[in-house]
Structure 1
Amino acid sequence: MSAVMENVMGDNAKPAGSTAVEAGSVPAKTEVRIKPKPGLMKRLQALGSGSFMRIVPPILGLAFLVLVWQIIALKNSSFPTPYVTLLEAIKLFSDPFYRAGPNDQGIGWNVLASLQRVGVGFGLAALVGIPLGFLIGRVNFLSGMFGPIISLLKPVSPLAWLPIGLLVFKSANPAAIWSIFICSIWPMIINTAVGVQRVPQDYMNVARVLNLSEWKILTKILFPSVLPYMLTGVRLAIGTAWLVIVAAEMLTGGVGIGFWVWDEWNNLNVPHIIIAIVVIGVVGVLLEQMLMALARAFTYEQVNS
């Protein structure tokens, strides 16, 4: 009997690893895991790393600057703390466009006055410097003629030209504009001339073969090729112009952010001086970023097929 049972059990025995389920038994739960694709994981990691590198380091840099500022303020009682300066900034920017007299105006009016001088001087420099750069880069005779003059005058400090402006124009405002003009023109001339000289010679040979006019060579070949160089010169010039106007206004007086800084120093209002420094830096960064965005918009990259 036992032998018969063993034969029956042997016939009905299931092989190891069989997936058959006996009657009345509860099937085991199957755990399903969805693994993300490797490409998706790399993209997520790159996105997180990029966001981290864009946000965290600048915040840490600003925190370090505030910490150093606080330490200096603790060591020197005459130097305002970041908190005191913040309170003064809130008061100052609550009404930035007040007028209490010809030399007592809000910081907003002073910034606008400085920007107006920079705009006029910078615009005049662009009107003169960019066409002159094209001529110098295009005509070898003019390059040899103006090269020594540019090399001689370019290293001169912009403020050294301020007394000449006061002597010629007999007024502080046009003298400051003159200083902006003379310091802004050199980067535009040099970068534009270099861009013209670096135009591929093959382009000019094709223009000669097609017998193109000088105007078509200028508009169809030179201008598109020189544009990145020209915009680089413009960006360098605007940074220099903003630096110069602050120093020029300190010497000439009137309405402007430079004069405002000097006036606050005479009143021993150090928090306002620090606020003005921050404002000058922010405006300079905004001007440069605007011109960089303009340069990116008009710069074309070659696409390889």
Structure 2
Amino acid sequence: MNATVQTPVAAPPSVTRPAPSSMPALTLGARLRPYAERVLPPLAVVLALMGLWEVVASGPGATLPPPSKVWADAHDLIVDPFFDRGGLDKGLFWHLLASLQRVAVGFALSAVIGIAVGLLIGTSKLAMRGLDPIFQVLRTVPPLAWLPLSLAAFREAQPSAIFVIFITSVWPIIINTAVGVRNVPADYRNVAAVIRLRGPAYWWRIILPAAAPYIFTGLRIGVGLSWLAIIAAEMLIGGVGIGFFIWDAWNSSNLSDIIVALAYVGLVGFALDRLMALAGHLVTRGTATV
């Protein structure tokens, strides 16, 4: 019997897989570069303007103080905005806080009423024909023109200032909300009709999400107008507030204090705009731009 000789089969050579190349870690400079690109250009412009201001205001016949004199005159006001010596002798923090409280109340009222009226106008052609011409006329009235009527009606400074804020900021909220509702895509409405979505569910799931970018645009414009209105109103109604502080500094010929207060006003206004833009970006999941 012949024995069958089996030739051993060689094992396949093992394939050595290269180790995955690890991504090089970003250096500190690379991580900070995006922030530097956003911060350095405006910072350079501000420094250039400050230098130009220093040169121009230091010349003969200049009527405004240069930055160096502003720092010398208002040093205590800048480094300690939290002092409170009683009465109206307070730091800028307390004046800004009083103004922001008035803005919060007036703007909240304008947001609630403005969105509700905007939804009504956007969905009802009859309401739009009746109310839109009136709103277009009233929104052109300057904010301070409402102050005498509000003082006559409320007979107190605080509610009068809140009313001026409300009547100033409500119009862009109404108009943008109405435009957003009218621009809801027809496909969304057709889908709601197919699945028989009616009542509050229709508003919460179809109308409001689709109109949200327009609504937040109106809110963003409204909060900026609210801040503008309260500064002007406080100059006339008095009391604690950044507007009254500016007017009181003018009566005392403290130009340096006015310049410092204006810088705070601008920074707070910028912060309010950014916060509202961020809120819109988060609520609309990126649809509303920051």
Report the TM-score, using the length of structure 2 for normalisation.
Answer: 0.83
1:59 to 22, 43, 51: 43
Q: Which moved more, 1:153-162 or 1:81-90?
A: 81-90
Q: What root-mean-square deviation, in Å, do the aligned CA atoms of Structure 1 and Structure 2 show?
A: 2.5
CA separation of 1:250 and 1:192: change in aligned 2, threshold 3 A:
same
Look up the match of 2:130. Answer: 145
2:185 to 191, 196, 200: 200
**In 1, are the aligned partners of 2:64 and 2:255 still within 8 Å (CA)?**
yes
- By how many angstroms is 1:139 displaced? 1.3
Look up the match of 1:181. Answer: 166
Look up the match of 2:234. Answer: 249
Matched, 1:169 2:154: yes
Look up the match of 1:72. Answer: 56
Look up the match of 1:258. Answer: 243
**In 2, are the aligned partners of 1:72 and 1:79 still within 8 Å (CA)?**
no
**In 2, are the aligned partners of 1:103 and 1:255 still within 8 Å (CA)?**
yes
1:102 to 84, 87, 91: 87
In 1, the alpha carbon distance for the partners of 2:36 and 2:238 equals 45
Q: What count of residue pairs does the alignment treat as equivalent? A: 263
- By how many angstroms is 1:77 displaced? 5.1
- By how many angstroms is 1:84 displaced? 2.4
**In 2, are the aligned partners of 1:248 and 1:258 still within 8 Å (CA)?**
yes
In 1, the alpha carbon distance for the partners of 2:33 and 2:146 equals 49
1:113-157: CA deviation from partner (whole Å, max 9, x where unpaired): 100110111011111111111111111111111111111111111
2:256 to 267, 271, 275: 271
Q: Aligned to 2:233, what secondary structure does the other structure show? A: helix
Look up the match of 2:20. Answer: none
Moved over 6 A (4+): 46-49
Question: 1:215 is aligned with what amino acid?
Answer: P
Question: 1:101 is aligned with what amino acid?
Answer: G
In 2, the alpha carbon distance for the partners of 1:81 and 1:250 equals 25
In 1, the alpha carbon distance for the partners of 2:190 and 2:279 equals 31
- By how many angstroms is 1:51 displaced? 5.4
CA separation of 1:292 and 1:301: change in aligned 2, threshold 3 A:
closer
Q: Aligned to 1:98, what secondary structure does the other structure show? A: coil
Look up the match of 1:26. Answer: none
Question: 1:168 is aligned with what amino acid?
Answer: A
1:221-246: CA deviation from partner (whole Å, max 9, x where unpaired): 01111111111111100001101111
**In 2, are the aligned partners of 1:180 and 1:241 still within 8 Å (CA)?**
yes
In 2, the alpha carbon distance for the partners of 1:244 and 1:52 equals 34
In 2, the alpha carbon distance for the partners of 1:159 and 1:63 equals 35
Matched, 1:282 2:270: no
CA separation of 1:51 and 1:213: change in aligned 2, threshold 3 A:
closer
Question: 1:115 is aligned with what amino acid?
Answer: L
Q: Aligned to 1:297, what secondary structure does the other structure show? A: helix
1:190 to 166, 175, 190: 175
Look up the match of 1:218. Answer: 203
Look up the match of 1:27. Answer: none
In 2, the alpha carbon distance for the partners of 1:257 and 1:48 equals 36
In 2, the alpha carbon distance for the partners of 1:287 and 1:66 equals 25
Ranges in structure 1 where 5+ consecutive residues have no aligned partner: 1-39, 41-45
Question: 1:170 is aligned with what amino acid?
Answer: R
CA separation of 1:55 and 1:100: change in aligned 2, threshold 3 A:
closer
Question: 1:242 is aligned with what amino acid?
Answer: W
Identity of aligned residues (%): 43
Look up the match of 1:236. Answer: 221
In 2, the alpha carbon distance for the partners of 1:248 and 1:63 equals 32
CA separation of 1:265 and 1:140: change in aligned 2, threshold 3 A:
same
Ranges in structure 2 where 5+ consecutive residues have no aligned partner: 1-23, 25-29
2:279 to 271, 294, 297: 294
**In 1, are the aligned partners of 2:54 and 2:68 still within 8 Å (CA)?**
no
Q: Which has the larger radius of gyration?
A: 1
Question: 2:275 is aligned with what amino acid?
Answer: M
- By how many angstroms is 1:89 displaced? 4.3
Question: 1:54 is aligned with what amino acid?
Answer: R
- By how many angstroms is 1:71 displaced? 2.3
- By how many angstroms is 1:50 displaced? 5.0
In 1, the alpha carbon distance for the partners of 2:55 and 2:45 equals 15
- By how many angstroms is 1:88 displaced? 4.1
- By how many angstroms is 1:196 displaced? 0.5
1:64-114: CA deviation from partner (whole Å, max 9, x where unpaired): 210221123213455322122224444114432333332222211111010
